Structure 1
Amino acid sequence: MVTQSHRVTDSATLRALAHPLRQRILLELSVRRSLRAADLAEIVGEPANAISYHLRSLAKVGLLVEAPELARDSRDRVWTVAHPEGVYVPPGPDDDAPDIFAEQFLAWVRDMVMEKVPEDPRAIRGRYTGAALLTKDEGRQMFLEIAEVLERWREHGMDAAAANPQDPDRVFHYTGAFVGNRADPARHADSDDAAVPPTSTVT
């Protein structure tokens, strides 16, 4: 089930999220049930002591929590996200900057559209763009159906990674769903603007 992301507006949490490595840590944990500092260090290629520091910083502002039930002993620290529904940083009233998590996603989307995404033999690259004539309620229903499919596959990936954490073929994939339009008071109902034709690519 798709749920609304946790909104972050307080200054302490925003400061904690300002570091790009902490953003990466949250993204990696968002597609896994749990990780230890050593696991994350191997994934992101950073020293384990540095990862531990950033984990504690994220926990301090309530974005991560420990999972003692998964620990091997009293010294073992296992971490999981406090908000599995995701984290959203809304722009301020005078701020047009995107969600800080969206910045790297938008860079990936731009590279996908321009066909500049580096090849990874373990990953798939797929793109679909198109348009549909829908009512607002139909558009909402379509979006929720698409988002639920993506969420189901995210859960599947977490379960599979938990069952086989050393699987070399299971790699991070970005996914996204965007549905909408923009208000244009100059546009009339009898406009002959051409619709964007659907395109789909998978490699």
Structure 2
Amino acid sequence: MATYDDPRILRAIAHPTRNRVLHELSAAGSLRAADVAQRTGIPANQASFHLRQLAKYGLVEIDPDAGRDKRDRVWRLTDDDITISPREMVQQPGGEAAYTVFQRSSVAWGHHLVDEAFKVSSDLEDDQARRLVSESSLRLTKDEALELQQELNQVVARYRETGRQPSGEERDLYSVYQLVQPMPDLAGEADPGAAT
């Protein structure tokens, strides 16, 4: 797991298209720019540009073993798990502004994922097979919360590896959005403990 504290990296991954490129590479393992273009619906020259930008910041690299020959450029993530350190990030020059842009983009994406998850399809079977929304409340120590997060990450990593293997079945890209955090206060409540 690579932890980044360079504000320029946050700006690079806050871009929605680059973020999607990272997701595609994470799921697939290695892809050519043409594959990225096909999966994201952008022109191949734009896919190449975004891949080069991500490479500039050390997030992706050429996978020399995946190409058919030396001219065949296949890209992969430098690390499957990109982690940022917000505290260290905001202390860097330009870090607070970069973090604000990244946070705004991430919150918007999170809202989009939740909105899509709660859409009701006319095809009940499609809804049940393709979407699962689950929320659980647990009483945990800090160590137990960390252990839970690590176990969830291991399960996701196992399925990521399975999805990268050749298969006779076509696989769709799924989003697994995890939050393990202390329960926040009620939205819009100034003092949730105050008597009414």
- Name the TM-score, length of structure 1 as normaliser: 0.71
Q: Is the counterpart of residue 181 in structure 1 residue 179 in structure 2?
A: no
The equivalences for 1:51-90 within 5 A come to 51-88=47-84, 90=86
Query: How many Å apart are 1:105 and its aligned residue?
Result: 3.2
The equivalences for 1:65-144 within 5 A come to 65-88=61-84, 90=86, 92=90, 98=103, 100-101=105-106, 103-112=108-117, 115-116=118-119, 121=126, 124-144=130-150
Q: Is the alpha carbon distance of 1:126 and 1:136 closer, same or farther for their aligned partners in structure 2, counting shifts above 3 Å?
A: same
Letter in 1 for 2:55: A
What whole-Å deviation, never above 9, does each CA across 1:56-86 have from its counterpart, x for those lacking one?
1211221110012211112110100112222
> 1:88 touches 1:99 (CA, 8 Å); kept in 2?
no
Determine helix, strand or coil for the equivalent of 1:69: coil
> 1:9 touches 1:89 (CA, 8 Å); kept in 2?
no
Q: Find runs of 4+ consecutive structure 1 residues off by over 6 angstroms.
A: 117-120
Letter in 2 for 1:180: Q
Determine helix, strand or coil for the equivalent of 1:133: coil
> 2:14 touches 2:106 (CA, 8 Å); kept in 1?
no
Sequence identity of aligned pairs in percent?
34
Determine helix, strand or coil for the equivalent of 2:177: coil
**Across the two proteins, how many residue pairs are aligned to each other?**
177
Q: Which of the numbers 1, 4, 29 marks the counterpart of 1:7?
A: 4
The equivalences for 1:188-203 within 5 A come to none
Q: Is the alpha carbon distance of 1:187 and 1:133 closer, same or farther for their aligned partners in structure 2, counting shifts above 3 Å?
A: farther
> 1:67 touches 1:78 (CA, 8 Å); kept in 2?
yes
Which structure carries more helix by proportion?
A: 2
Query: How many Å apart are 1:109 and its aligned residue?
Result: 2.1
Determine helix, strand or coil for the equivalent of 1:6: strand
Provide the rounded CA distance (Å) in 2 between the counterparts of 1:109 and 1:149.
21
Farther-moved stretch of structure 1 (83-92 vs 42-51):
83-92
> 1:30 touches 1:86 (CA, 8 Å); kept in 2?
no
- Name the TM-score, length of structure 2 as normaliser: 0.73
